[in-house]
Chain A
Amino acid sequence: MIEAPIVEVKGLGVSLGDKPVLEGYSLAVDKGAVLAILGSNGVGKTTLLNCIVGLRRPDAGAAACAGRIGYVPQLFHATFAFSVLDIVLMGRARHLGLFSAPHRADYAVAERMLELMQVGHLRERPFNALSGGQRQLVMIAQALASECEVLILDEPCSALDYKNQAIVISTLRKLNREMGLTIVFTTHAPQHGLEIASHVLLMQDGRRYRHGPVGEVLTAENLSTLYDVPIARAEFAPGGSFTFAPAYSQ
């Protein structure tokens, strides 16, 4: 039996004022898949995510998600000095009544997710005092505390150094492999797609896009077209793992 896709985007159209941002985007993400979204700055990656999350109403078509969504926005900053535990605890929002505060069971879930993300030792620290990498892990813990089935992340590695990128990427891999979480994330590093994605969406512009399995779509040729910069495939060892790197002109 073929299961229905957990995320489905059909003929999506979004306009900003009179200016169309996205037109006729259609794609589906199966349960347990990992979709990496690549595209230039301003092409509408965040807009697409916002439609899937439900933060933005599409002007045409539909974006639907059949499972509970955990959303990790780009570079989150808390206005007030909440502790890490407070922040993760707020992931329980949809499980709380309008007038209730988190119960012991909610605290237990939050603590468990902090441990899972290996940031349990930070629980009493003010969230805003953490490094970018730590914040990203805490925000993932918050999403997990909401018991989400689909994890949606907007550039989870954008402001991180290599070490922290590796931590976040391997965490996402673990969540997908061990917990069967469906993951959708945007990135500027094709390497992240190669590392963990099963599928890729290359957003050329508001209308043109390529969507498919990593092996077929994530090629040097497609990436060169996407970024309008010559991009070459580089193998770490002959026939072994590889990456893509730009070959800037002089």
Chain B
Amino acid sequence: MRAAVALSVSAFGGARRRGWPVIAALTVLLVFSVIYSVTLGRYGVSMTHAWLILWSHVVPVADPTWTAVDANVVEAIRLPRILAALLVGAGLAISGAALQGLFRNPLVDPGIIGVTAGAGFGGTLAILLVGGGTLVMGAAFGFGIGSLLVVRLLASVKGRTSTLTFVLAGVIVSAFFEAAISIVKLLADPHQKLPAITYWLMGSIAATGYDDLALLALAILPPSLLIFLLRYQINILSLGEEKARALGSPIERVQWMIYAAVACISAGIVATSGIVGWVGLVIPHVARALVGPDHARLLPVAALLGAVYLLLVDDIARTATVAELPIGIITALIGVPVFALILRRVQSKSGWAHD
């Protein structure tokens, strides 16, 4: 982790043009992280077996050298969780990168548009009222998307929305839903519901099965593809709204498509995994340091980095102590000092001061 931090700071703002070597290297790293993560846990599976079990889905193996229990642990228990970590990490990083470009502010996190808090409230409310299950997911997702609509309503003045009013509206909606979450906690039964709510909010992908995984993929992959397709429009918008408008870019359309995509990703992540902060803020920085500000390279690199990062965080979450650690706590523990470093760096360079 320390290496990544040093890298992000030393190579800050460098405009390097080559993306493919970085993407290739990260893909290799991703594959190794997946295989390594499969072997982690109290039930031992060797690296070779882990690789062979995964590979047997690509090329069928006639007589397996591993046991049925090995295969079961890898495929039914560890793999869905690993894939969920990859998806969540990639989704958070790509939304963070897109919003940072859109808002021309490198200190922005997907939570800023109010969707995360809205989804958090939906989920806690559902836990309070019914206890758990798919309704929690549905409520979280619904409230997440709903809060984007509220933000939009608050931010539109005479049919135009400036990014500043949008961010302020997002902050207002977040603050409202955070207060609402506190009220739900206050109302919750302190022996059963309150711990469930608190633990859910801290973020975990421990219980991910293939059903959840499918929902997560549905909430994350299509919007991520949409964001990637808009890569060049994000570049243009990162010059500033006025400049982009003068250049003839359809900025309102692009902005709302990205807001909607980010809302879908954030709501999907909160619905299945709780609130996982700091990834969307920190990872795009490291990506920008590696490949420069062009979103055609930045977005895929951020997605890969985010995936590997959250996978390693989840590995820590499930192996560091006997009990599970919520991943939201670990991402905050790592993210806050990194954020502090970035802040100092920005201040000393003042290269990001708004004009």
Q: Contacting B238 at CB < 8 Å: which of A79, A83, A99, A146?
A: A79
Bound complex: CA A98 to CA B17 (Å): 23
Surface stretch bound by B, among A85-93, A212-220, A239-247:
A85-93
Q: Contacting A82 at CB < 8 Å: which of B245, B254, B294?
A: B294
Interface size range of chain A in the complex? 20 to 34
Q: Contacting A99 at CB < 8 Å: which of B101, B230, B351?
A: B230
A193 to chain B, nearest CB (A): 24
Decide if B195 is an interface residue (CB 8 Å cutoff).
no
Decide if A81 is an interface residue (CB 8 Å cutoff).
yes
Q: Contacting A100 at CB < 8 Å: which of B232, B245, B293?
A: B232
CB-CB under 8 A from A128, the residues of chain B are: 351
Q: Contacting B247 at CB < 8 Å: which of A93, A101, A124?
A: A93
Interface string of B5-17 (1 = CB under 8 A from A): 0000000011101
B268 to chain A, nearest CB (A): 22
Q: Contacting A73 at CB < 8 Å: which of B106, B229, B242?
A: B242
Q: Contacting B293 at CB < 8 Å: which of A54, A81, A142?
A: A81
* Tally of chain B residues near chain A (CB < 8 A): 38
CB-CB under 8 A from B66, the residues of chain A are: none
Known: A98-B230, A98-B233, A101-B231. A55 touches B239 (CB 8 A): no
Known: A91-B247, A146-B248. A81 touches B235 (CB 8 A): no
| Complex contact A81–B15 (CB within 8 A) | yes
Bound complex: CA A69 to CA B242 (Å): 13
| Complex contact A90–B247 (CB within 8 A) | yes
Most A-side CB within 10 Å, residue of B244, B247, B354, B355? B247
Decide if B345 is an interface residue (CB 8 Å cutoff).
no
CB-CB under 8 A from A81, the residues of chain B are: 13-15, 292-293, 351
Known: A81-B293, A101-B296, A128-B351. A93 touches B236 (CB 8 A): yes
Most A-side CB within 10 Å, residue of B105, B293, B296? B293
A181 to chain B, nearest CB (A): 16
CB-CB under 8 A from A86, the residues of chain B are: 15, 235, 293-294
> What would 14 more interface pairs be, CB under 8 Å, given A79-B104, A81-B293?
A69-B246, A73-B242, A79-B240, A79-B352, A80-B293, A81-B13, A81-B14, A81-B15, A81-B351, A90-B239, A98-B230, A99-B230, A128-B351, A146-B248
Interface residues of A, Cβ cutoff 8 Å to B: 53-55, 68-69, 71, 73, 75-83, 86-87, 90-91, 93-94, 96, 98-102, 124, 126, 128, 142, 146
14 residue pairs from A and B, CB less than 8 Å apart: A54-B246, A73-B242, A73-B246, A79-B239, A81-B15, A86-B15, A90-B239, A91-B247, A93-B247, A94-B247, A96-B232, A98-B230, A98-B233, A101-B232
Instruction: List the 5 closest A-B pairs by CB distance, nearest first.
Output: A94-B248, A80-B293, A93-B247, A71-B246, A79-B104
